[in-house]
């Protein structure tokens, strides 16, 4: 079949400074300051300047992307968090316009950037099916024809005339996905939608996407779930820092991608910083609590990283500090785990060995994160390594349909990258309302 999406030299630039600037008063203030030759009191302070693709107050979310999608095929898009995958889908779905380049599309596009868009809590399930369907681009006639099918798929026959504000979060997602799954666009954009719902429902959704392509329609599928990508996709494009790094056969690209995540070890050491100083790192791997080497970290699960090192000579009466920093493209330093060795520990530090950093419950949402670990001796940087780690969904914890946890799109924790332990309660002590404790969830036996 022929090309249904042709992306030509597409770029998207965001201006950092203007975000949050928008007050007429401040514009006048800036103008008045410039007029008198003073410094603009509102000039932006750069927060992201550690990033490669930032120049001045501008950041390129996409740079010269050219890509073609063939009709009736599933094109997977993979890449780290902040690589530009979502921006690409947003441009194709016309939510925002590109800075340069163009996209040509043949056929109707529907996107599942987030399901349940426009649901109104006061309206019944039935009314919301119509409203949501129309927002997603269906006509009332189409929705009416598919209505029974949609209700069937959602499994909510009994509650279809109940206002959705009385729905549980799981029911809400079921209904929302049921509508979205019955769109009949020629091109469907899917972004991480499979992060919601219980495992059974997810299977149903994956099946539905497979079915859609059987009917000769095209799907663009963005996901961190490599299993889903490899089962569903015909081709894969790998985006990094706003550019297409590789594109081609699914297995080939996924292998390259996972390689880059898993083995981005010592090779990533920056040029001009040769190894073999007083203290240097040799490589790392992740292990589970039983000591088995694992490829992925899991949300909320124990995270153990074993880092091998070597010293030129024994380090005595010196200060040795190590640090492990987690970050991603948008926030280079999410959190860090610094540690200074005691004299007693230094005294029995072998010349070669390994350090283990353990995080009892990894507070990160699914995705790809940067990790950097560094060592300083007497305050001078001895060695530094950058790598990537993939955090995957932890079905044991979050997909059991527990209320409020990761299933309600409105409350979804995965709108954030960083998860903390928290609890809500009323002002008076002892009268806790609905407690949502991450800690409790994590301590629950499997």
Pick one of 62, 74, 75, 91: the residue that binds other proteins (CB under 8 A): 91
Nearest CB to other proteins, comparing residues 165 and 380? 165
Task: Tell me: does residue 107 bind other proteins (CB under 8 A).
Answer: yes
User: Are the beta carbons of 77 and 246 closer than 8 angstroms?
Assistant: no
Task: Tell me: does residue 415 bind other proteins (CB under 8 A).
Answer: no
Tell me, rounded to whole angstroms, the distance of Cα 349 from its chain centroid.
38
Task: Tell me: does residue 114 bind other proteins (CB under 8 A).
Answer: yes
Nearest CB to other proteins, comparing residues 41 and 353? 41
Least spacing, CB of residue 117 vs other proteins, in Å: 4
Separation between Cα atoms, residue 369 and residue 367, nearest integer Å: 6
Least spacing, CB of residue 38 vs other proteins, in Å: 22
Nearest CB to other proteins, comparing residues 99 and 354? 99
Residues 200-239 that bind other proteins (CB under 8 A): none
Nearest CB to other proteins, comparing residues 165 and 358? 165
Residues 124-183 that bind other proteins (CB under 8 A): 127, 130-131, 134-137, 139-140
Number of residues that bind other proteins (CB under 8 A): 48
User: Are the beta carbons of 140 and 148 closer than 8 angstroms?
Assistant: no
Nearest CB to other proteins, comparing residues 163 and 302? 163
Task: Tell me: does residue 103 bind other proteins (CB under 8 A).
Answer: yes
Count of residues making up the chain: 446
Pick one of 96, 249, 312, 425: the residue that binds other proteins (CB under 8 A): 96
Pick one of 62, 83, 85, 93: the residue that binds other proteins (CB under 8 A): 93
Least spacing, CB of residue 136 vs other proteins, in Å: 6
Which range, of 103-111, 264-272, 279-287, 397-405, touches other proteins by CB under 8 A? 103-111
Least spacing, CB of residue 340 vs other proteins, in Å: 43
Least spacing, CB of residue 36 vs other proteins, in Å: 22
Which range, of 39-47, 117-125, 248-256, 321-329, touches other proteins by CB under 8 A? 117-125
Task: Tell me: does residue 122 bind other proteins (CB under 8 A).
Answer: yes
Which residues of the chain form contacts with other proteins (CB under 8 A)?
6, 8, 14-15, 18-19, 22-25, 27, 90-109, 111, 113-114, 117-118, 120, 122-123, 127, 130-131, 134-137, 139-140
């Amino acid at each position: 079949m022929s090309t249904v999406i042709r992306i030509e030299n597409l770029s998207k630039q965001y201006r950092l400074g203007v975000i949050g600037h928008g007050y007429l008063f401040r514009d006048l203030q800036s103008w008045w300051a410039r007029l008198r030759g003073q410094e603009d009191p509102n000039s932006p302070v750069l927060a992201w300047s550690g990033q490669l693709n930032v120049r001045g107050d501008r950041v390129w979310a996409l740079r010269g992307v050219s890509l073609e999608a063939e009709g009736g095929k599933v094109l997977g898009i993979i890449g780290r968090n902040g690589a530009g995958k979502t921006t690409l889908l947003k441009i194709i779905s016309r939510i925002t316009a590109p800075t340069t380049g163009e996209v040509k599309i043949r056929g109707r596009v529907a996107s599942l950037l987030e399901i349940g868009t426009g649901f109104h809590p006061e309206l019944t399930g039935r009314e919301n099916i119509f409203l949501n369907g129309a927002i997603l681009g269906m006509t009332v006639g189409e929705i009416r024809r598919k209505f029974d099918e949609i209700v069937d798929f959602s499994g909510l026959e009994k509650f279809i005339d109940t206002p959705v504000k009385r729905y549980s979060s799981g029911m809400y997602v079921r209904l929302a996905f049921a509508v979205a799954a019955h769109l009949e666009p020629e091109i469907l954009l899917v972004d991480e939608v499979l992060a919601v719902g219980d495992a059974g429902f997810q299977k149903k959704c994956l099946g539905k996407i497979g079915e859609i392509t059987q009917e000769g329609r095209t799907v663009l599928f963005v996901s961190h779930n490599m299993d889903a990508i490899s089962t569903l996709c015909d081709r894969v494009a790998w985006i990094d820092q706003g550019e297409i790094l590789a594109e081609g056969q699914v297995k080939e690209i996924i292998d390259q991608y996972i390689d880059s995540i898993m083995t981005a070890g010592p090779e990533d050491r920056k040029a001009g910083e040769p190894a073999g100083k007083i203290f240097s790192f040799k490589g790392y791997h992740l292990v589970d609590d039983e000591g088995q080497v694992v490829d992925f970290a899991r949300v909320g699960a124990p995270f153990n990283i074993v880092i091998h090192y070597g010293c030129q000579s024994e380090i005595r009466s010196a200060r040795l500090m190590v640090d492990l920093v987690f970050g991603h493209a948008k926030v280079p330093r999410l959190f860090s785990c610094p540690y200074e060795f005691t004299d007693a520990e230094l005294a029995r530090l072998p010349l070669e060995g390994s350090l283990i950093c353990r995080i009892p419950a990894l507070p990160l949402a699914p995705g790809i994160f940067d990790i950097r670990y560094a060592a300083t001796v007497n305050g001078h940087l001895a060695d530094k390594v950058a790598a990537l780690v993939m955090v995957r969904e932890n079905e044991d914890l979050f997909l059991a349909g527990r209320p409020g946890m990761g299933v309600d799109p409105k409350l979804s924790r995965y709108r954030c990258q960083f998860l903390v332990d928290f609890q809500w309660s009323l002002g008076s002590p002892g009268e806790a309302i609905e407690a949502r404790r991450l800690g409790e969830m994590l301590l629950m036996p499997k």
